[in-house]
Structure 1
Amino acid sequence: MDPSVIESTDDWLGCPTPLETCRHQLALCENEVEELNLQLRQAREQIFKLVEMHTEVSKECGTLRSQLAAARAETSEANGRASEIETRSNWELMAKGRHISELATQIRTLNGDNPFKDPFPHQRDTERT
């Protein structure tokens, strides 16, 4: 038998011809291209949604940053007012304490006591024996 005849399988049942093989490969490629186009379309839709979400979040972030800046400014202003009030009240307390001390000295002087004498004598002797 001739070896070239052994290699020819065109007449076998169930074996596709070269044209049928090419058409089959073409159909597979077309299906793959359609699938890839579908996936590409879906990916583009998802990207578009992500871009929209990013835009919304960026706007919200900007709003929150401005609110935070306003809150920080308000807090700083409140801290300044609180410090001012505390300083003023401390000065008022010191002035009232001085006034009370002066009045106590005047009362002692009017009572005939020594104004510089210890008003609270020691109850116990602190000397060690």
Structure 2
Amino acid sequence: MSVDMDTEDWLGCPTPLEMYKHQCSILVDELVETERMLRRARANIAGLVQMNDLLVTGKMAAEEKLRAVEVELSRTNVEYSERGKEIMGLKMISNQNEHLRIENQRLLLELAALRGPQP
């Protein structure tokens, strides 16, 4: 039995032109969706670039403040080091003064003992 039938006339079977049109509509929908995603991605990238610029500006300001604080800290360290040297010098003088006062008291007692009782 040889059946040679043209299946294009069958109910529900699309013609090649209908299949091409359907495929084209699917591709157009995908292209529209891709363009929408691309616009959204570009907007996201623009936002990220703007955020990066703000962060770079903030970082530069923070680094400048840090440099200023480091300079101030260095100046303060030098100042306190000099004051520390002055304090150490004053402590040494105070210790020498105390030693001389004690030695003076000892010598006065010796002198008083050598002179004997005063009438």
- TM-score tier by shorter-chain length is 0.7 to 0.9
What is the CA distance between 1:69 and its match in structure 2? 1.1
1:76 aligns to what?
A: 74
What is the CA distance between 1:109 and its match in structure 2? 1.5
- My pick for the range that moved more, 87-96 or 103-112, is 103-112
**With structure 2 as the length reference, what TM-score do the two structures score?**
0.85
Deviation string, structure 1 residues 38-81 (Cα, Å, up to 9, x no partner): 00000000000000000000000000011111111111211111
SS in 1 for 2:7: coil
Matches within 5 A, 1:90-105: 90-105=88-103
Q: 1 CA distance for matches of 2:7 and 2:60? A: 73
Aligned residues: 111
SS in 2 for 1:75: helix
CA RMSD of aligned residues (A): 1.5
Q: 2 CA distance for matches of 1:50 and 1:13? A: 55
- My pick for the range that moved more, 30-39 or 76-85, is 76-85
Q: Does 1:58 align with 2:56?
A: yes
Percent of aligned positions with the same letter in both sequences? 31
Q: 2 CA distance for matches of 1:36 and 1:21? A: 22
SS in 1 for 2:19: helix
Q: Does 1:88 align with 2:83?
A: no
Matches within 5 A, 1:1-129: 2=2, 5-6=4-5, 8-112=6-110
Structure 2 unmatched runs, 5+: 112-119
Determine which structure has the larger helix proportion and give its number.
2
Structure 1 unmatched runs, 5+: 114-129
Q: 2 CA distance for matches of 1:82 and 1:104? A: 32
Which runs of at least 4 in structure 1 moved beyond 2 Å after TM superposition? Answer: none
